[in-house]
Amino acid sequence: MKTSAAFPSDYLKASDLNGKSVNVTIESVEMVDMGKGRDKESKLLIRFVGKQKGLVCNKTNAGTIEKITGTDETDDWVGKNITLCAREVEFQGDMVWAIRVSLRAPGAAPSKTAAIKPAPAAAAELDSDNVPF
């Protein structure tokens, strides 16, 4: 038995992406309290259409979503398509896997001067069904 089966999480982890970039549509964005006692703090939680797990959004990912959507108003992110991917990042001096929101619009080919444009809803669902989370 995998420990992830013994201790399931309601929140998305890099390993949930199975090494793939996943196109998703934002269903809701809310502030939730996490932790207990002195460790309790409010975090931004993003939920996606057709997905069980939500993404606890950090400042880096929030900034990327702002660039993609053109707004810092989280209510306006609902219905927008983004691409999630796992990346190696430095955290407290160690390299770890983390989820990052890609600046590339879902379904867009890479380019040196990639314009960030929202993708049609159909493109957001192409890869998302292949990765359950």
Residues (pLDDT < 70) of the chain are 105-132
Determine phi and psi for 66, rounding to 5 degrees: -60, -45
Q: Residue 67 to residues 44, 72, 82: CA-CA distances in angstroms? A: 17, 8, 11
Q: Is residue 36 part of a domain?
A: yes
Question: Considering the domain boundaries, does residue 43 fall inside one?
Answer: yes
Write down the pLDDT at residue 106: 67
Residue-range definition of the domain harbouring residue 95: 8-104
Residue 109 lies in a domain: no
Amino acid 4: pLDDT: 73
What is the structure's pLDDT at 120?
40
Longest dimension (CA), the chain: 47
The separation between CA 131 and the C-alpha centre of its own chain, rounded to angstroms, equals: 13
**How many CA atoms does the CB half-sphere of 17 hold within 13 Å?**
21
The pLDDT value recorded for residue 1 is 80
Residue 87 forms part of a structural domain: yes
In angstroms, the CA 113 to CA 35 distance is: 41
Residue 113: the pLDDT is 46
Q: What is the pLDDT of residue 3?
A: 80
What's the confidence (pLDDT) of residue 5? Answer: 78
Q: Considering the chain, what is the average pLDDT of its residues?
A: 85
Q: How many domains does the chain have?
A: 1
Q: Is residue 131 part of a domain?
A: no
Q: What are phi and psi of 37, to 5 degrees?
A: 55, -130
pLDDT at residue 124, as a whole number: 38
Tell me if 3 is assigned to some domain.
Answer: no
